[in-house]
Amino acid sequence: MEAKGVMAVGANTLINRWLAVEGGIGFSLFSQKGVTGYSFSANFFYPKINWLGLRLAFQHEQWNDWQVGENRVYGMARVGFEGLKIITNSSIRLGLGVARRYPVFDHSRFQEPWFWRSPVPEWNFLYSLELEFLKTGNLLAQFFLANFDRLKIRNPQQFPFGIGVFYSPAASWQFFAHCGSAMNGLSTLLLSLSEVYVKVGVRYGEVHNSQTKLGI
């Protein structure tokens, strides 16, 4: 059981041509009420190659009803390509990385992001694929397959996927909606889908060319 009715806020700022930093926090309005987690990431670009980047990040997630949490660090290399011949005006972004996860079962310390001792730490591979298949005027649509987002990392046997739609009525504004699910149990050959989720939100601010190409 995961938190339901999560509201998240975040900020992203460009420090210079090769570095952007980002932070975010999530709150659950229904189950697991209260703060569900937060994250901080540093995104590095190579100024002469806009489609190449590296993300280093920290995540903390907690389940307040159960009084357990998890601290994570990960690194991911990202590449982006535009003008694919298979679909007009399309682009694709790929990411591959590794995460170190530290579950916290101590009920008195599950909320602490600085607690890095766990009886069962583990390594996870991370992956992401984002394919923009519709880009016309102010509207953009993409298919995504990724086992992590800004506040969560999924287990290796889960394959989350979905569709995202973005609408930009003005240069600095963007409204978005995501609908997704996850395919579970591929290792056992018994396939099932997890719950379907919907995300809606709005972004405001200027975006650097490297951030656009890398989806940051």
Tell me if the domain spanning 6-214 has CATH number 3.40.50.10420. no
Q: Domain locations in the chain?
A: 6-214
The mean pLDDT values, 10 residues at a time, for the chain of 216 residues are 74 88 91 90 82 92 93 93 61 92 92 90 93 86 91 84 91 89 69 81 74 55
Q: For residue 55, what are the contacts with CB-CB under 8 A and spacing of at least 6?
A: 41, 42, 43, 44, 74, 75, 76, 78, 95, 97, 216
User: Please, are residues 9 and 24 in contact by the beta-carbon 8 Å criterion?
Assistant: yes
Structure tokens at 14: 């460009």
What does pTM read for this prediction? Answer: 0.84
Structure-token match 């590449």, residue found: 79
Q: What is the pLDDT of residue 187?
A: 55
pLDDT for 170 equals 85
